Amino acid sequence: MRTVAVANHKGGSAKTTTTVNLAGALGEAGYDVLVIDMDPQGSASAWLGVPNPEVSVVDAIRGRDPLAHLIYETTAPGVHLVAASPDLVAVDRRGETDIALGFMRALERLPARWDVVLVDCPPSLGYLAIAPLTVCREALVPVEAHFMALAGVTSVVETMDQIKVRLNPSLRLGGVVACRVNRTLHARAVVARLEHRYQEAMLRTQVRESIRLAEAASYHLPITLYAPDSSGAEDYRALAAEMFEPALAPGRASRRIVVSALEPVEAAAPPAAPTPLERLKQLLRWGAGATGGDAVPEGTADGGASAPER
């Protein structure tokens, strides 16, 4: 089970967008994914169809319930959620040790039924942002292709270095991914600077600017479901392939759904027992050639998520 903290101390960095849509791409490819929302704003929870949870990650941090009892179904196949709560603001005042220990114990007791755990960290330097980094094995840092966003990457990487020495020797930088990349010279210059500074840690995949990504949130769907043939869906599938294809065992069936103008239909079944890389490459090819365009799903998915069993 890979545990990944999706972190950036600067707001507006596409952190939640990356958490939700990377989870959607992995779930589509057949992986079992758990998203843990540690942001008091609860944006990832709302995006995945759980805007007003009855239970949240706060219950695990305070030791009232194990994470396994706080799991919500989401609007994305293969993706489960431990939701956030505004009560996280109060938890943040308790101190680094309490939060880190509570979250560490909760994650250690989590059954290994998921292939990937993605933790959406809050955009801050507070204890809530530090806690996942003290537990997770790796961090993914999304960064907007804008000059003012560079400081956020520097800050989180420096924080990681301190945590690695003091609290979590297993922590590593899993990658820096450029997001909201457009065709301007400014964006190209920012990406070039990131590539120079972070070299091997800089992921090849770039997530292009796309209005479809913003629209997907209002429908409570990952981009791979809302607009499966869009550039955003293609980019997050590519990110999933780049980050995760070497790590997981083959044999999982694709959950890909092609949205047509009339009704959803299942895509053709992939070859038997493909490797993870082959599965994700197939999804990328299907995304380039599938019919139906960027059809918008009718209505919203407000009622699509179910509450956990207590």
Q: Do the domain assignments include residue 293?
A: no
Region 42-69: mean pLDDT is 93
**What is the rounded average pLDDT for all residues in the chain?**
82
What pLDDT, on the 0 to 100 scale, is given for residue 297? 40
Q: Do the domain assignments include residue 75?
A: yes
Q: Do the domain assignments include residue 66?
A: yes
CATH number at residue 57: 3.40.50.300
Q: Do the domain assignments include residue 124?
A: yes
What pLDDT, on the 0 to 100 scale, is given for residue 250? 46
| Domains identified in the chain, total number | 1
What pLDDT, on the 0 to 100 scale, is given for residue 96? 55
What pLDDT, on the 0 to 100 scale, is given for residue 245? 81
Closest CA to 42 of 3, 77, 66, 72: 72
Q: Do the domain assignments include residue 256?
A: no
Three-class SS of the chain: CEEEEECCCCCCCCHHHHHHHHHHHHHHCCCCEEEEECCCCCHHHHHCCCCCCCCCHHHHHCCCCCHHHCEEECCCCCEEEECCCCCHHHHHCCCHHHHHHHHHHHHHCCCCCCCEEEEECCCCCCHHHHHHHCCCCEEEEEEECCHHHHHHHHHHHHHHHHHHHHCCCCCEEEEEEEEEECCCHHHHHHHHHHHHHHHHHEEEEEEECCHHHHHHHHCCCCHHHHCCCCHHHHHHHHHHHHHHCCCCCCCCCCCCEEECCCCEEECCCCCCCCCHHHHHHHHHHHHHHCCCCCCCCCCCCCCCCCCCCC
Q: Using alpha carbons only, how large is the chain's radius of gyration in Å? A: 18
Asked if pLDDT for residue 293 goes beyond 50, the answer is: no
What pLDDT, on the 0 to 100 scale, is given for residue 308? 62
15-28 and 211-218 helices, crossing angle to 10°: 80
Asked if pLDDT for residue 269 goes beyond 50, the answer is: no
Which residues 6+ apart lie within 8 Å of 187 measured at CB? 145, 146, 181
Relative to beta strand 138-144, strand 116-120 is unpaired
Q: Do the domain assignments include residue 241?
A: no
Residues β-bridged to residue 176 = 141, 202
Q: Do the domain assignments include residue 267?
A: no
What pLDDT, on the 0 to 100 scale, is given for residue 171? 95
What pLDDT, on the 0 to 100 scale, is given for residue 259? 39
Closest CA to 217 of 8, 16, 1: 16
Domain limits for position 58: 2-220
The Cα–Cα gap between 131 and 126 comes to 9
Tens digit of each residue's pLDDT (9 = 90 or more) over 171-210? 999 999 999 999 899 989 989 999 999 998 999 999 999 9
Winning range, highest mean pLDDT, from 10-14, 178-182, 250-254, 260-264: 178-182
> What is the four-CA torsion angle of 16, 17, 22, 25, rounded to 10 degrees?
140
What pLDDT, on the 0 to 100 scale, is given for residue 226? 97
Q: Do the domain assignments include residue 86?
A: yes
Tens digit of each residue's pLDDT (9 = 90 or more) over 75-103? 999 999 999 998 888 776 666 567 778 88
